[in-house]
Amino acid sequence: MRTIRQLFAALVTAALLAGTAGCAAEPEPSQTPATPTTPTAAPGDSTPAAKPVVLRVGSTKPFKTTNTFSDYWYGVLSNMTTHDTLIKLGSDMKPAPWLATDWTVSEDSRTFTFTIADNATWHDGTPLTAENVRFSIEYYRDCDPEAGWMKDVIESVTVDGNDVILSLTRPYGNLLIEFMTYPVVPESVWSDVEDPLTYEGPDMVIGSGPFVFESWDPAAGRFVFTANEDYFQGKPNIDRLEVNIYRTMDALVMALSRGEIDTWWDYSGEFPYTHVPPLLKGGDIEFATATYLGVPAAIGFNLDRAATSELVFRQAVASAINYRQISELVFSGYGSTPTAGFVPPTHPDFNDGLPQLVQDKDKAAQLLDSLGWKDTNGDGIREGADRKNIVLTLLTRGDVPSTLRSTEMVAADLKAVGIGCSLKSVDNATWVAAKDAMDYDLVFFRATPWGTLMHASHGSGYFDSRRTGSGVLHNLAAAEYLETCDARLATADLAEQERLDRELQRMHAEYLPGIALTWIESVYPYREGWDGWTIDHIYGGVVNSFSWFTVTRN
């Protein structure tokens, strides 16, 4: 009797076990499109069966679906692969033609005319027309919450032959930059879809781009794209593109050094320098370098607080920081000391007349003394105008190790000249809330490549007090600055833009709303044997739309 009961208990457990294992063992459904697959090679193709060129890219970004509207990361990836934009930013930092082979801007910067290529097609073979482009722009304007600015700025979109004409409500010099991020989407798929953010139809992956979506396997974390043989710019040099997702940088680097992938991709982030040595060891990984367009570590001032509202105090802070140590220790020597203009030389119209920041403790002490803020009681901290110790609240992200490291160093540098610091290290959400509430004296932030191009460009997007956004400081309200930003936005004249760009950078140095802590040389690892990469400063290094047509494999 006993044994039967025990046997029964054992059987029940075994059954439960088998059941769960069985449930987990169902392969997860991976997405494949319902549309016709890539057309086979054209009949006239005479090359013998050459080995297909396969590029395997690794990424740590959190991709979740294949909806370019709702999934931020897939949106970025699809921009380079399955979809086309009207123009792109070339490596020379000037707009390059893409789907729009040419464009003109009216004198008053209120009318933009794009000429659309006449040989572009969608992945299902139907031609891409100027009408399709008009549909896309209006679709973004009406249905995409992220494109809300279009409602304010774009008055009408009309089509004339191959041209798409945008009439604006007001001069908007930045329109070209904006259109680098909105890919053209097929009317046949989206015209019936009222809410693109929740759409899950398999045809949402259809575009006109150099690659056709083949599959997405969430369990294995892999996207597969195949070359679009009929692409209007010609077939890309790569026959098959795989994007493998890794959860940690360690896993990605392990895969790269073991030959499981060929290169790494991240939009707007930099490759962690701490992970370079293991790649150098194997000897078969090479690195492309480019000066990062953004600012990976910077501080911003709260211009309304007692101490930080004083320009002389901010200048003292700028002289107290050991920039070299930050470049050496946090960025493994790949950093260089910036100027007070904020943005690095990669930007067009870089103002090279501005002095480089330099640590000069004597000068810092002198400046602080000139304010009358001395340490009278010998405790090592100076007293401010209110006769109390100056203790600044430093707001920083605790969940990004490199940011925290920089913060600790700056705090130590400030203490060395008699400025006390209290560190407030929080997670992202709390950081955004505290920053927007101006609940700090100094805030540590980073400026992304795209972020530095926003608004009136050259970093003005971060400081203009009228701006909003989760990464934006909006701390400078000087009338002169705001007027310059407006003037820059209102003009499309290149000479005038240059003059205003230089002005903006000069004002950054003059007002010091923020200080860049370092500029860096970004590194982009790739397996040897690959050659001819084109650098794209926005989309991240070597993996971008231009490379598809320039890269070769030995």
Q: Does 324 bind other proteins (CB under 8 A)?
A: no
What lies within 8 Å, CB to CB, of 187 at 6+ separation is: 131, 132, 135, 136
380 phi and psi angles, rounded to 5 deg: 95, -10
Please tell me the distance from the alpha carbon of residue 524 to that of residue 461, in angstroms, as a whole number. Answer: 27
What is the spatial distance between Cα 40 and Cα 229, in angstroms, rounded to a whole number?
A: 8
The only residue of 32, 315, 389, 430 in contact with other proteins, by rule CB under 8 A: 430
Among 23, 42, 50, 479, binds other proteins (CB under 8 A): 23
Q: From the list 34, 42, 219, 437, which residue makes contact with other proteins (rule: CB under 8 A)?
A: 219
Tally of CA atoms within 13 A in the half-sphere of 19 that contains its CB: 6
Give me the amino acid identity at 259.
Answer: G
194: DSSP letter? S
159 binds other proteins (CB under 8 A): no
Closest separation in Å from C-beta 333 to other proteins:
9
Residue 151 sits in the site that holds other proteins (CB under 8 A): no
Strands 222-227 and 240-245: antiparallel
User: Binding of other proteins at residue 416 (CB under 8 A)?
Assistant: no
Tell me if 94 contacts other proteins by CB under 8 A: no
Rounded Cα distance, 137 and 509, in Å: 38
Mark residues 29-68: x for contact with other proteins by CB under 8 A, - for none.
-x-------------------------------x-xx-x-
Contact call for residue 387 and other proteins (CB under 8 A): no
Least distance between other proteins and beta carbon 285 (Å): 13
Size of the site for other proteins (CB under 8 A): 66
If binding is defined by CB under 8 A, does position 283 make contact with other proteins?
no
d(CA 199, CA 197): 6
Other CB atoms within a 10 A radius of the CB of residue 10 amount to 10
CB 521 within 8 A of CB 203: no
Q: Provide the token pair at 400.
A: 């990004």
Candidates 25-33, 150-158, 492-500, 544-552 — which segment interacts with other proteins by CB under 8 A? 25-33
- HSE, CB side, 13 Å, CA atoms: give it for residue 60: 15
Which of residues 42, 50, 429, 479 is near other proteins by CB under 8 A? 429
Can residue 268 be called a binding residue for other proteins (CB under 8 A)?
A: no
Question: In the range 395-414, which residues lie near other proteins by CB under 8 A?
Answer: 398-399, 401-402, 404-405, 408-409, 412
| Residue 225 within binding range of other proteins, rule CB under 8 A | no
Nearer to other proteins, 39 or 52 (CB): 52
SS3 per residue for 43-111: CCCCCCCCCCCEEEEEECCCCCCCCCCCCHHHHHHHHHCCCCCCEEECCCCCEEECCEEEEEECCCCCE
Angle at 276 between CA 270 and CA 282, to 5 degrees: 140
Site string for other proteins, 447-486 (x = CB under 8 A): -----------------------x----------------
| Closest distance to other proteins from the beta carbon of 542 (Å) | 21
Question: According to the binding rule CB under 8 A, does residue 277 interact with other proteins?
Answer: yes
296's CB contacts (< 8 A; 6+ apart) are 270, 331, 335, 402, 446, 518, 520
Q: Which range touches other proteins (CB under 8 A), out of 362-370, 420-428, 528-536, 542-550? A: 420-428
CA geometry: angle at 321 spanning 317 and 322, to 5°? Answer: 170
What's the min distance (Å) between Cβ of 153 and other proteins?
A: 17
Question: Counting contacts by CB under 8 A, is residue 348 touching other proteins?
Answer: no
Binding status of residue 217 toward other proteins by CB under 8 A: yes
Identify which range of 116-124, 160-168, 177-185, 217-225 contacts other proteins by CB under 8 A.
Answer: 217-225
Q: Is 5 in the site for other proteins (CB under 8 A)?
A: yes
R_g of the chain computed on alpha carbons: 27
CB of 71 to other proteins, least distance (A): 6
- For the chain, how many residues are written? 554
289 pairs with which residues across the strands?
523
Residues that bind other proteins (CB under 8 A): 2, 5-6, 9, 13, 16-17, 20-21, 23-25, 27-28, 30, 62, 64-65, 67, 70-71, 145, 148, 217, 219-222, 246-251, 253-255, 258, 272, 274-275, 277-278, 325, 328-330, 332, 398-399, 401-402, 404-405, 408-409, 412, 423, 425-430, 433, 470
